[in-house]
Each structure stands twice: as structure tokens, then as C-alpha cells.
């Protein structure tokens, strides 16, 4: 066999219209074609009409299969289905492969234009999807007649394409309707937080959507199926015979992991013994059981019951399967959440134990071994136990410069943070008023001396005593003024840093006697103060050593030794702290009073698990002791 030229194999445009049937036989064919209810009946009627309208047709065949996948099997034959037409399959396969009409002539040729017989094939293609092919066995004819046959097939294939499009549209409409119903049923589940309420809503809505007398839902629990909810029934007894039979039917479907319908349709190898018992022991009817998957494993089942005169059709079964596939993970999550915390812990523990047994879950086994090794290390290994506390630098000596009398600020050349030498001027008070008062007192003293001399010349003893007392009083005032004038100049007592005090913005302002104007601390004499929490103070002793790190110098550490543990606590941030004074040696030239950091006091060596858990265990021990009577 050989394929004809490309001119013979090209597609031909459709002809105007089919001829009107002229005989009773044609009328019968057209009637069968118009009233066909199945694809095979439609194709048989169509093929008979095509072959009746063409001359020289010996046989014909229509192949239909899964779009673009196949296999494509014959579903219509002409003139007789009992005739062997397998010799036409090669031409049909060529049309399917090339996706165009082909004409193949026999190898024995009578003339250059006519062969003994020809095979004409045409693919059935809808929306660029290949659904099948038509192949005809044509008696010897010339080139124009073969072109007419191919043209007629091209035109007539439109009916089959219309049939496929109609079937596709019906399937799409059915799928859309099924999706809408599925979403409505899923919405009834999502509207509830508790699994029982969700199951009741689902069964009631599914019973109304599928027109069922009863819909039940059950879940697997420790290898047994328990009925969770029944439509239109808020309360039911789990041990009743009816619900035991329903649970058995659910287990039958779950064990086989298939959807079971009763009575079964067609040939089926599915075991339906429990469904038979449920139908016979209770009201006979149609039953459909759909497993609910929660991932890879089944978690429960839906069981629907109808009267016997309304068995479950394919659309209803697909709807139930879609609902079960969507709501399965949702119900499983709700069922897991709607449990006691203790049950959740036991279930998680059992799942973890099962993952440790067997050959699977290698990552879990390795992680568990690593965690176990770490725990054993922490339990048996020991480390240095150190008490951590906030650390503050304080000067060993701190001098205060106070106002010697009420006066006014005249000069203030230094302020806080400045480094001063011994004798350097800190502040100068205004002395003009003091000088005027001293001059006044000095004038008064001169007058009293004259009165004293006069009283001595007149030998008035009493007057001499009075004037002498007044003169001593004025001289004391002059001495006081001299002393105050000497203290108007305030100088640094030693070399150090001005810790507090800034009078540069208060020149001319009055100051009161005793007011602290400056505080000075030495530059090379500091002590370390640790604020130890009262929970750790019992482990701190004088003479212990530790390590210090200041926030200003995070790369430098220094050793210190505890000198004094004060017995007085200070409340701060809702907790009590004890002041622990220490001596340290930090070789750093930029230390300043008030610097903070962290210090750790070394106590002894203890187990690591105790070091990391003793704050919590101590708190629990104290809380339990406080609560117990």
C-alpha cells in the first residue's frame, strides 16, 4: 500500500447541504440519526447516512477514543459489524498521526488515475484535540470521485464534531454545577469551629443536595470506625444496631479504599457484604459509601442512603467524591483541634514513637539521637557556675565643693567631665558685697577704738567695758568677712575629674549656703560595685574572683575580687539587689566614673543541666511551697 500525493490528501471545504431523504430507508436512517441517545448509536446512524449518499462505498468504520491520548477503538461499522475491517486500521492510524484527511490506493493499479480500491480516512478534531477518525473502503474510482468522497467526509465530520462539542459542553456544565455544589457544602463546614457541628451541617446539607433519606459520617479511631454525625439527628446511640451496621459498611469501603454503591452496577469485584446486611436488616434502599482521605491515608467515610427506586447515578457519586476529597483535610484538622490537650500530647507522642521504629524517618531518628546525646552531655558534664550581675564603676573618693555662704556666681571656668589639677579654679563667687560689709565693719571698729580711748582718758570703767565688748564684736565680724572673702575662690583639692556640676550657664545666679556646686573624683582610684540579685546572693562570698566586661570596652576583660557583701538590699524594677563591692585592675587609661558593664562571679563547678535550669526550678519550688497549705 502507498499513500497518495499531497493533492489527494489535502482537506476539502464543506459541501452546501445534505440531500433530502427520498426513500423510506433514508427516512428511517434520518429518524435513527435524529433520535440517537448514545454516541455509538449516533455514529452508526451517521455512518450509514454517509455511506448511503456516496457511490462505491464497500465498508466504513468510525473510531473514537480519549482526546489526544487514545486508544481509539471502533464504535460504528458499515454495512455489518460482524465483518472484519481490521485492514482499515492502518489508514486510520495514518490520518490520526498526520491529523488530516488521507487517501491510500492499493498497490495494483489498473491505470495511472484509478486503482482497484482506495481507503479514505479523515480525523475528528475539536478545539485542536484529536477525538477519533473515520475510514472508508471505496471501490475503484477516478480522481474527482475520490475528491468528492473526501469532501463529503470533511462536511459530514462536522456532525461528529458537533456531537463531541455537545458532549464536552454537557460535561463542562456538569463539572461547573458539581464544583458549585461542592463549594456550598464546603462552606457549610467552614462555618463551624467544632467538628461535631461541622459534621452535622455537612450531612444535613449533603442529604438535601443529593435527595437522600439519611447521610452519615464516621471517622477512624484506633482502627475502628465510629459514626460521628447523622443528618437530621442531633442525638443517637453509638451502640444501636443501625449505627453498628453503618459503621461496618464504612469500614468495608475504607478497607478497600474504593467507593461502594449498593446494589452494585455491572461487573464488580468489590466486597459489599456489610452493605448487603445494612440493606437487608433495615429499610431496603440504595447505598453509596465514599471514603474520606486526610492525605495518603483514609480518615473516615460518608454513607448516603436513598430509596431503592432511586439508585445513585454517576453525577451524584462524583459530587460525593469531590466533597469528600475537599472536606477531608478540613475535618481532619478540626477533629485534631477539637480534642483534650492531654489526648493531643499522647497522640503526638505515639506518632513520634512510631516514627522511631522501622526503617523510615531517618531524619527524625538522627535528630532524636543528637538531642539525646546533647541531653546526656548536659546531665553528666560539669561547667563553671558563675553569678552574673550588673557592674558599675564608682570612685574610691569623691569630694564635693559646696557654697560657703549665700552669694552670686561670678566665674565658672569648668564643668562636668573636665579634668582638673590640684588648686585649679573651679568657681569664683562675687565678693563686692562682702568687701563693702568689711569696710563698714572696719569703720565701726575705728569709731569704737576712739570711744575706748576717750573712756580710758576719762577713767570711766563701765564705759570702757561696754566699748571694749563692742569692739571685740566688730573685730569678729571683720574676721568673718575676711574668712568668707578667702573662700570666694573655690579650687580643686586634687587632680581628678569633675563628675557633676555645670555653672557656665548660671553666671550671676544666686546660690545658697551648703549647695553642692561640684563633685570631683580621682582618675586612678575606682571600685567595682555589683548589683547581685537576691536569688543568687547566697552563693556569693568575700574573696571570690570573677571577670568584668564594660560596655565601653567590649573587647577587654578584667579580673576582680569580691571584698564586701553589704547586708542591705535595694529595690529596683520590682526586684531586690544586694550591693557587692569588689577590687579590680583594668589596664585602661580612659576609665570614667559611672561606666557600666557585666560582671560574673565564679562560684564553683556544677552540672550544666542545673546551671541552666536552676532559676526555673527554684521559682517552681518556692511557688509550690507558697501555695501548699
Q: 191 forms bridges with which residues in the sheet?
A: none
**Chain-centre distance of CA 529, in angstroms?**
46
C-alpha cell at 63: 473510531
Q: 287 forms bridges with which residues in the sheet?
A: 262, 305
Are residue 317 and residue 346 in the same domain, yes or no? no
C-alpha cell at 579: 550591693
Distance separating alpha carbons of residues 186 and 302, to the nearest angstrom: 14
C-alpha cell at 404: 560657703
Inside any domain, residue 546: yes
Choosing from 338, 353, 371, the residue where a domain stops is 338
Lowest-pLDDT range of 166-175, 527-536, 560-569: 166-175
Distance separating alpha carbons of residues 341 and 347, to the nearest angstrom: 10
The 3-state DSSP class for residue 278 equals helix
Are residue 419 and residue 300 in the same domain, yes or no? no
Q: Is pLDDT of 421 > 50?
A: yes
The tens digit of pLDDT for each residue in 184-232 reads 888 888 888 888 888 888 899 899 888 898 899 999 887 888 888 888 7
Q: 292 forms bridges with which residues in the sheet?
A: 300
Q: How many CA atoms lie within 13 A of 398 on its CB side?
A: 15
> Which CATH number covers residue 607?
2.40.30.170
- The reported pLDDT for the residue numbered 35 is 62
Nearest CA among 46, 69, 48 for reference residue 162:
46
Distance separating alpha carbons of residues 274 and 504, to the nearest angstrom: 101
Nearest CA among 116, 137, 126 for reference residue 54:
137
Lowest-pLDDT range of 202-206, 278-282, 604-608: 278-282
Are residue 145 and residue 25 in the same domain, yes or no? yes
The tens digit of pLDDT for each residue in 288-305 reads 999 998 777 888 999 999
Are residue 196 and residue 143 in the same domain, yes or no? no
| Residue whose entry in the numeric block shows the C-alpha cell 552670686 | 408
- The reported pLDDT for the residue numbered 302 is 92
- Note if the pTM is more than 0.85: no
Inside any domain, residue 451: yes
Inside any domain, residue 78: yes
Nearest CA among 628, 172, 131, 612 for reference residue 381:
612
The tens digit of pLDDT for each residue in 312-352 reads 888 888 888 888 888 888 888 888 888 888 888 888 888 88
Inside any domain, residue 178: no
Which domain does 434 fall in, by range?
A: 399-518
Q: Which residues of 313-329 are buried (b: 16+ CB within 10 A; e: fewer)?
A: eeebbebbbbbbebbbe
Supply the Cα-derived Rg of the chain in whole angstroms.
Answer: 55
> Which CATH number covers residue 283?
3.30.450.40
Are residue 110 and residue 50 in the same domain, yes or no? yes
Q: 74 forms bridges with which residues in the sheet?
A: 63
The tens digit of pLDDT for each residue in 70-93 reads 788 887 888 776 777 777 888 888
- The reported pLDDT for the residue numbered 401 is 76
Are residue 424 and residue 473 in the same domain, yes or no? yes
Domains in the chain, number: 5
How far are the Cα atoms of 226, 326, 334, 360, 383 from residue 299, in angstroms, in the given order?
11, 13, 12, 22, 50
Q: Is the model more confident about 518 or about 609? A: 609
Are residue 561 and residue 511 in the same domain, yes or no? no
Inside any domain, residue 177: no
Distance separating alpha carbons of residues 472 and 179, to the nearest angstrom: 118
Inside any domain, residue 175: no
The tens digit of pLDDT for each residue in 344-402 reads 888 888 888 888 887 788 888 899 999 999 889 888 898 899 999 999 887 777 777 77
β-strand 73-78 against 118-126: which pairing, if any? unpaired
Mean pLDDT of 143-170: 71
Choosing from 338, 354, 371, the residue where a domain stops is 338
Q: Are 287 and 149 in contact (CB under 8 A)?
A: no
C-alpha cell at 82: 460482524
Mean pLDDT over all residues of the chain? 79
- The reported pLDDT for the residue numbered 329 is 87
Inside any domain, residue 394: no
3-class secondary structure for 150-177? HHHHHHHHHHHHHHHHHHHHHHHHHHHH
- The reported pLDDT for the residue numbered 242 is 82
The tens digit of pLDDT for each residue in 475-513 reads 888 888 787 777 777 777 877 778 777 777 777 778 778
The tens digit of pLDDT for each residue in 424-442 reads 788 878 777 777 888 888 8
The tens digit of pLDDT for each residue in 514-564 reads 778 787 777 777 788 899 998 888 899 988 999 998 888 888 888 889 988
- The reported pLDDT for the residue numbered 250 is 92
The tens digit of pLDDT for each residue in 237-275 reads 554 778 888 899 999 999 988 999 988 776 677 888 888
Distance separating alpha carbons of residues 289 and 297, to the nearest angstrom: 16
Q: What is the DSSP string of 197-257?
A: HHHHHHHHHHHHHHT-SEEEEEEEETTEEEEEEETTBS---TTSHHHHHHHHHHHHHHHHT
- The reported pLDDT for the residue numbered 386 is 92
C-alpha cell at 571: 529595690
Are residue 497 and residue 612 in the same domain, yes or no? no
Q: Is pLDDT of 234 > 70?
A: no
Are residue 41 and residue 149 in the same domain, yes or no? yes
Are residue 368 and residue 466 in the same domain, yes or no? no
Inside any domain, residue 269: yes
Choosing from 460, 484, 518, the residue where a domain stops is 518
Which residues, in sequence order, are CB contacts of 237 under 8 Å at separation 6+?
Answer: 243
Are residue 359 and residue 465 in the same domain, yes or no? no
Are residue 205 and residue 220 in the same domain, yes or no? yes
Amino acid at each position: 500500500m502507498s499513500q497518495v500525493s499531497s493533492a489527494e490528501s489535502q482537506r476539502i471545504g464543506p459541501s452546501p447541504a445534505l440531500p433530502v431523504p427520498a426513500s423510506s430507508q433514508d427516512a428511517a436512517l434520518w429518524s435513527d440519526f435524529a433520535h440517537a441517545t448514545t454516541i455509538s448509536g449516533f455514529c452508526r446512524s451517521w455512518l450509514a447516512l454517509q455511506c448511503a449518499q456516496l457511490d462505491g462505498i464497500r465498508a466504513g468504520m468510525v473510531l473514537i477514543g480519549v482526546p489526544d491520548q487514545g486508544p481509539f477503538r471502533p464504535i460504528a461499522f458499515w454495512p455489518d459489524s460482524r465483518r472484519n475491517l481490521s485492514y482499515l486500521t492502518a489508514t486510520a492510524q495514518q490520518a490520526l498521526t498526520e491529523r488530516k484527511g488521507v487517501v491510500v490506493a492499493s498497490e495494483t493499479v489498473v491505470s495511472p488515475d484509478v486503482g482497484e480500491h482506495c481507503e479514505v480516512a479523515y480525523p475528528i478534531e475539536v478545539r485542536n484535540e484529536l477525538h477519533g477518525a473515520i475510514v472508508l473502503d471505496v471501490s475503484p474510482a477516478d480522481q474527482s470521485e475520490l475528491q468528492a468522497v473526501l469532501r463529503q467526509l470533511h462536511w459530514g465530520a462536522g456532525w461528529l464534531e458537533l456531537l463531541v462539542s455537545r458532549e464536552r459542553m454537557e460535561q463542562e456544565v456538569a463539572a461547573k454545577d458539581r464544583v458549585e455544589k461542592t463549594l456550598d457544602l464546603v462552606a457549610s463546614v467552614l462555618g463551624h469551629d467544632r467538628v461535631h457541628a461541622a459534621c452535622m451541617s455537612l450531612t444535613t446539607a449533603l442529604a438535601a443536595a443529593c435527595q437522600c433519606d439519611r447521610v452519615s459520617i464516621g471517622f477512624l479511631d484506633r482502627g475502628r470506625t465510629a459514626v460521628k454525625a447523622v443528618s437530621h439527628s442531633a442525638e443517637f446511640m453509638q451502640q444501636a444496631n443501625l449505627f453498628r451496621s453503618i459503621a461496618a459498611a464504612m469500614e468495608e469501603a475504607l478497607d478497600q479504599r474504593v467507593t461502594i454503591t449498593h446494589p452494585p452496577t455491572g461487573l464488580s469485584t468489590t466486597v459489599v457484604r456489610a452493605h448487603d446486611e445494612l440493606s437487608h436488616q433495615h429499610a431496603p434502599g440504595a447505598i453509596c459509601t465514599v471514603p474520606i482521605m486526610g492525605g495518603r491515608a483514609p480518615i473516615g467515610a460518608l454513607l448516603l442512603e436513598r430509596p431503592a427506586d432511586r439508585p445513585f447515578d454517576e453525577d451524584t457519586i462524583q459530587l460525593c467524591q469531590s466533597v469528600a476529597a475537599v472536606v477531608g483535610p478540613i475535618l481532619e484538622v478540626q477533629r485534631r483541634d477539637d480534642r483534650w490537650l492531654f489526648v493531643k500530647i499522647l497522640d503526638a507522642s505515639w506518632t513520634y514513637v512510631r516514627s522511631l521504629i522501622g526503617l523510615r524517618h531517618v531524619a527524625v531518628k538522627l535528630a532524636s539521637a543528637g538531642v539525646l546525646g546533647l541531653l546526656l552531655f548536659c546531665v553528666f558534664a560539669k561547667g563553671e557556675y558563675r553569678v552574673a550581675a550588673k557592674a558599675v564603676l564608682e570612685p574610691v573618693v569623691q569630694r564635693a565643693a559646696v557654697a560657703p555662704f549665700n552669694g552670686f556666681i561670678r566665674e565658672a571656668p569648668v564643668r562636668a567631665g573636665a579634668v582638673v589639677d590640684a588648686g585649679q579654679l573651679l568657681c569664683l563667687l562675687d565678693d563686692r558685697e562682702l568687701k563693702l560689709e568689711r569696710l563698714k565693719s572696719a569703720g565701726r571698729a575705728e569709731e569704737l577704738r576712739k570711744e575706748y580711748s576717750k573712756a580710758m582718758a576719762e577713767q570711766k570703767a563701765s564705759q570702757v567695758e561696754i566699748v571694749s565688748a563692742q569692739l571685740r564684736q566688730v573685730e569678729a565680724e571683720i574676721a568673718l568677712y575676711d574668712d568668707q572673702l578667702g573662700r570666694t575662690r573655690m579650687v580643686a583639692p586634687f587632680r581628678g575629674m569633675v563628675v557633676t556640676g555645670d555653672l557656665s550657664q548660671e553666671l550671676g545666679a544666686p546660690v545658697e549656703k551648703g549647695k553642692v556646686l561640684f563633685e570631683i573624683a580621682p582618675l586612678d582610684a575606682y571600685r567595682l560595685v555589683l548589683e547581685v540579685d537576691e536569688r543568687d546572693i547566697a552563693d556569693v562570698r568575700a574573696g571570690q574572683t570573677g571577670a568584668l566586661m564594660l560596655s565601653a570596652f567590649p573587647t577587654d576583660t578584667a579580673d576582680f575580687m569580691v571584698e564586701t557583701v553589704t547586708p542591705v538590699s535595694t529595690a529596683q524594677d520590682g526586684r531586690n539587689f544586694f550591693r557587692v563591692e569588689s577590687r579590680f585592675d583594668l589596664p585602661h587609661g580612659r576609665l570614667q566614673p559611672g561606666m557600666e558593664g557585666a560582671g560574673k562571679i565564679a562560684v564553683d563547678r556544677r552540672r550544666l543541666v542545673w546551671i541552666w535550669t536552676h532559676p526555673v526550678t527554684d521559682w517552681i519550688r518556692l511557688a509550690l511551697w507558697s501555695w501548699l497549705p
